[in-house]
Amino acid sequence: MADKPTNTFEANRNRQLAVEAGQKRVCLSLRYDGKPRVVEVQVVGTSLKNRPAMRVYQVEPQSNPAPSANFRLLCFDECFSVALSNRQAAPPRSNKNNRDEGFTRIEWAYV
């Protein structure tokens, strides 16, 4: 199996954009695993694998099967073409909060 492409030079900028999107309550558009996505940032921090990451709710394209499948943990060094979107983010999703279990450290959370 081939390694995932990484974007280490843009990882810190991607993290900054994720925090900015959360503070402005707008979505992020990005490419992850080679696919375009529009996401609402829920949490920004350090993952259990000690990687800078964000917990997001994917709003485009919609995932199947269940809506809970739309929650994803994305590592910043695997995100490409990250930009603020004009789409407003919905209020925080009720089944995710700032005590997200996927993180050892939380830098920012949508509360």
What pTM value is reported for the model?
A: 0.87
Residue 36's pLDDT is: 95
pLDDT higher than threshold 60 for residue 11? yes
pLDDT higher than threshold 70 for residue 39? yes
Is the bond into 91 cis (omega within 30 degrees of 0)? no
Q: Where are the beta strands (DSSP E) in 48-109?
A: 52-60, 71-75, 79-88, 103-109
Strand, coil or helix: what is 6? coil
Residue 110's pLDDT is: 87
Phi, psi of 3 (to 5 degrees): -65, 150
Percent helix, strand and coil across the chain, each rounded to 5? 20, 45, 30
C-alpha distances in angstroms, 36 versus 14, 18, 83, 87, 109? 15, 16, 12, 15, 23
Averaged confidence pLDDT in the chain: 88
Convert the pLDDT of each residue in 71-83 to its tens digit.
Answer: 899 999 999 999 9
Residue 99's pLDDT is: 54
C-alpha distances in angstroms, 28 versus 57, 77, 99? 10, 15, 22
Residue 88's pLDDT is: 97
Q: Going by C-beta distance under 8 Å and a sequence separation of 6 or more, which residues neighbour residue 88? A: 25, 26, 27
What's the rounded mean pLDDT across residues 7-26? 97
Convert the pLDDT of each residue in 56-103 to its tens digit.
Answer: 999 988 655 555 568 899 999 999 999 999 999 998 886 654 456 789
